[in-house]
A and B are shown apart, each in its own frame.
Chain A
């Protein structure tokens, strides 16, 4: 489905992403974790085409994406949300969703998704007037309106309390049962990631240090040293 092969990105001297090779299958939910600055957001930017990779290649269903610009990739079904929200505040909630719907491949599930993510009674409100949690959900529904083949969520649970995170997890399970897109989720909330994902890829300093089922990842010594240990300290 989504295949990355030797993807590399350097900013000046910094290797933000280095030689990342991975594939995400359709219908799979893949977690992407790693410490701050590991290169997770940069990887999403490279896949969505907002940044150009310095080396390597990437493809969707065997179709190369490398030469396509961001809007062309989106039209093919590469959808994403942003760690630092990027809704369109001067448009209504419905128009925010329409922006994606107009350029996407047409999706029958958008109206159901609007209801599932609790935005039905907000459609005519200006997006600028929404609360933070609603903005995060709007970004997900907007991405779904592209009828994605790949859906990338950059820290969808950031800033949410436990209840909101649980609700989000249920909504994402709903997405998964209604769409066969590949889902790539980044988050620092490991409980959330572990319960949601089929497989997890761990990034550290731009490189993949581990990949596997959630239970194997928690036992991996290198991951514990690089990230989980740190996460435990944070939790403590």
Chain B
């Protein structure tokens, strides 16, 4: 595979981001507490989600609110496949289609989860690419609600808001760091690929792009499906570490959290996606600590519940008002190092 000049440049940027992620992984592995390790693991899961969102939202510049649903589909399919029959006999006694009569190895489970998510995304995507602007936003919101309702009410398969337990712990912090590094490279190479460049051309000027031979719907479908595949990967990573999942983490709160991450960092660049995720993950921990009413510099602060929700809302509002392109705007990290060079 031959890389174009933008992609070669992108490799530099991706390598810098990868180095940061690996550094975080190493520090937490050697110096972190068990609690911190879990915290950082979920930050990495969210990083995978935000990178996946960047593929569609950043390149096509359309708003998708159904991403957490696709993550949930990936997580549930993998969980149902990988959980041992003995556990499923207890947790899913009434499961249809013999779902509680088999169990697969982790790799097959993950592959199946990705394939099923991709097929669903392809079918839904055929409708999405016929819409523009706010049409995409509203449609994707409906997809989120529908998928969540299925998770909630098909308790015989998904257990709804109860915990779906007994998923073997396949992943470690190391696995997700490696996965994140791969996905950072993948997403960056996609952004600079022929498809990524043509998608961004469509976002700049749809009419101009069509006149230059760009098949807008086809490209948006490719980005949509790739995004869903990466979301499934995030869901699988989530299920394979935590051991239990439920419908709630794949709904509004998570959509809003990851959206804030992408918007703060800047959805147009991969650097923005990574930066936003790191900042908000860290910032939220500080906010959660404030919520408990700690003693700060001798001042006993009051307990403020709901502060994290307010903080996220404020982040979105302030970013949209002051810097609509997010912190990074159109800049990738290597732009500061390789100014003007090819």
Residues in chain A within 8 A of chain B (CB atoms)? 48-50, 69-72, 74-75, 79-80, 82, 86-92, 94-96, 98-100, 102-104, 123-124, 126, 142-143, 146
B133 at the interface (CB under 8 A from A): no
State in angstroms the CA–CA spacing of A123 and B198 once bound together: 17
* A90-B210 contact in complex given A95-B197, A99-B197, A102-B194, C-beta closer than 8 Å: no
Partner of A146, one of B6, B205, B210, B213: B213
Q: How far is the CB of B188 from chain A (nearest CB, A)?
A: 15
The yes or no answer to B129 lying at the interface (CB within 8 A) is no
A74 → B minimal CB distance (Å): 4
Least Cβ–Cβ distance between B215 and chain A, in angstroms: 5
Contact of B205 among A69, A79, A86, A102 (CB under 8 A): A86
Is B208 engaged at the interface, CB distance under 8 Å to the other chain?
yes
Whether A99 and B211, one on each chain, are in contact in the complex, defined by CB atoms closer than 8 angstroms, is: no
What is the bound-complex CA distance between A79 and B198, given in angstroms? 16
B266 vs chain A, min Cβ distance (A): 12
* Chain A contacts for B203, CB-based, 8 A: 90
Q: Is the CB of A71 within 8 A of B210?
A: yes
Expressed in whole angstroms, the Cα–Cα distance for A49 and B211 within the complex equals 8
**CB within 8 Å for A86 and B198 given contacts A91-B204, A95-B6:** no
Residues facing A in B181-211 (CB within 8 A) are 194, 197-198, 200-201, 203-205, 207-211
Q: How far is the CA of A69 from the CA of B213 in the complex (A)?
A: 9
Are B209 and A99 in contact, CB atoms less than 8 angstroms apart? yes
A-B contact pairs, 28 of them (CB 8 A): A50-B207, A50-B210, A69-B210, A70-B211, A71-B212, A71-B215, A74-B213, A79-B211, A82-B211, A86-B208, A87-B205, A87-B208, A90-B203, A91-B197, A91-B200, A95-B6, A95-B201, A99-B201, A99-B209, A99-B212, A103-B198, A103-B212, A103-B214, A103-B215, A104-B213, A142-B212, A143-B212, A146-B212
In the complex, the answer to whether A86 meets B207 with C-beta atoms within 8 Å is yes
Residue of B nearest to A152 (CB): B211
Excluding A72-B213, A75-B213, A103-B198, 13 further A-B contacts by CB distance (< 8 Å) are: A71-B209, A71-B214, A82-B211, A87-B204, A87-B205, A88-B200, A88-B208, A91-B204, A95-B197, A98-B4, A99-B201, A103-B212, A123-B342
Which residue of chain B has the shortest Cβ distance to A85 in the bound complex? B208
Chain A residue at smallest Cβ distance from B61: A90
| A98 proximity list for chain B (CB < 8 A) | 4, 194, 197
Contacts of B149-200 to chain A: CB distance below 8 A = 194, 197-198, 200
| Distance A71 CA – B197 CA, assembled complex (angstroms) | 16
A124 to B213, CA, bound (A): 22
C-alpha spacing A49/B210, complex, angstroms:
9
Residues of chain A within 8 A (CB-CB) of B208 are: 82, 86-88
Asked whether A48 and B4 contact (CB < 8 A) given A86-B205, A90-B330, A124-B342, the answer is no
Per-position contact with A for B204-244: 1 when CB-CB < 8 Å, else 0?
11011111111110000000000000000000000000000
Closest chain B residue to A48 by CB distance? B211
CB distance from A178 to the nearest CB of B (A): 20
The residue of chain B having its C-beta at the shortest distance from the C-beta of A69 within the complex is B210
Are B200 and A100 in contact, with the CB atoms below 8 A? no
**Chain B residue contacts of A104, Cβ below 8 A:** 213
Most-contacted residue by chain A among B197, B207, B341 (CB, 10 A): B197
B198 touches A74 (CB 8 A): no
Please indicate the chain A residues that have their CB under 8 angstroms from the CB of B212 in the complex: 71, 74, 99-100, 103, 142-143, 146
Residues in B whose Cβ lies below 8 Å from that of A143: 212
Q: Is B268 an interface residue (CB 8 A)?
A: yes
- The docked-state distance in angstroms from the alpha carbon of A79 to that of B212 is 7
B5, CB-defined interface residue at 8 Å: yes
Do A88 and B213 contact each other (CB < 8 Å), given the known contacts A94-B5, A95-B6, A102-B198? Answer: no
Report yes or no: B204 in contact with A71, Cβ–Cβ below 8 A. no
Assembly CA distance A98 to B199 (angstroms): 12
Q: For residue B237, give the distance in angstroms from its CB to the closest CB of chain A.
A: 32
A115 to nearest B CB, angstroms? Answer: 16
Q: In this assembly, does B298 line the interface, its C-beta being within 8 Å of a C-beta of chain A?
A: no
Assembly CA distance A6 to B210 (angstroms): 25
Residues of the A chain whose Cβ atoms lie less than 8 Å from the Cβ of B214: 71, 99, 103
In the bound complex, how far is the Cα of B205 from the Cα of A89, in angstroms? 9
B210 touching A70 by the CB < 8 A rule? yes
A residues in contact with B213, CB < 8 Å: 71-72, 74-75, 100, 102-104, 146
| List of 5 A-B pairs having minimum Cβ-Cβ separation, nearest first | A103-B213, A86-B208, A74-B213, A88-B204, A70-B210
User: B211's contact among A50, A92, A123, by CB below 8 Å, is which?
Assistant: A50
CB-defined contacts of A146 to chain B, threshold 8 Å: 212-213
B204 and A74 form a contact (CB under 8 A): no
Verify A88–B340 contact, CB threshold 8 A.
no
Closest residue to A125 on the B side, CB-wise?
B340
Given contacts A99-B198, A103-B198, whether A90 and B216 have CB atoms under 8 Å apart is no
